[in-house]
Amino acid sequence: MSDRADSSSDLAAAFAHWRPKLLRALFRRLGNRDDAEEIAQESFLRLAAAGKALPLDEQGPYLQRIALNLSHDLWRNSPARQQVDLVAYDDGEIPAADIAAEGDCPCARTEQRQRLERLQQALDELPERQREAFVLHRFDGLTQDQVGERMGISRRMVVKHLARAFAYCEIRVQYASLEQMEHLHPAATRRADDDS
């Protein structure tokens, strides 16, 4: 119980110290306070879900990396990005990513395919509610509030499900099998199962 209280107070200290700086940086990058707030909150949730006990001075770069990745995800899913991503080709348009992929070496394509297979395995391994929240948010494009309405749970619970699902998937894609991950990174499996 004292470990949980210590981690809660550490997270509260990190939140108080880094939140204003993170929000300013995100607002400058995104130009939208709501998006900046949502990404900042999700960054702290991922920090908590990762279970890393980092000193205060190392938390800032870690949170910034998480926030940067999340803002890239937001940009990738935005209508502005979809317009930029299209390249005129003869009479039609094809995604720019398809053009770039044709020039990739076979090793890069194989590695990408393996990562996608591992991600699919990770999704299959998630507890049902985490997987449902993840799919509704990431693949169906629902907001956290909409996911909560669809699943009949609070937004806070949606954020918790998503943070754990993201943390698990980020770790899981690094391993060829669940058995390998359980052997080399047992804490990741325990955190994913805590929530079911």
DSSP 40-54: HHHHHHHHHHHT---
Q: Could you state, in order of their start, the residue ranges of all structural domains in the chain?
A: 2-80, 105-193
For tokens 């990408």, what's the residue? 112
What CATH code would you report for 105-193?
Answer: 1.10.10
- pLDDT given at position 2: 46
pLDDT in tens, 89-144: 333 343 444 444 444 556 667 777 888 888 888 889 999 999 999 999 988 889 99
156 pLDDT higher than 90: yes
Q: pTM, whole model, 2 decimals?
A: 0.44
Domain 2-80: CATH architecture, name and number where available: Orthogonal Bundle (1.10)
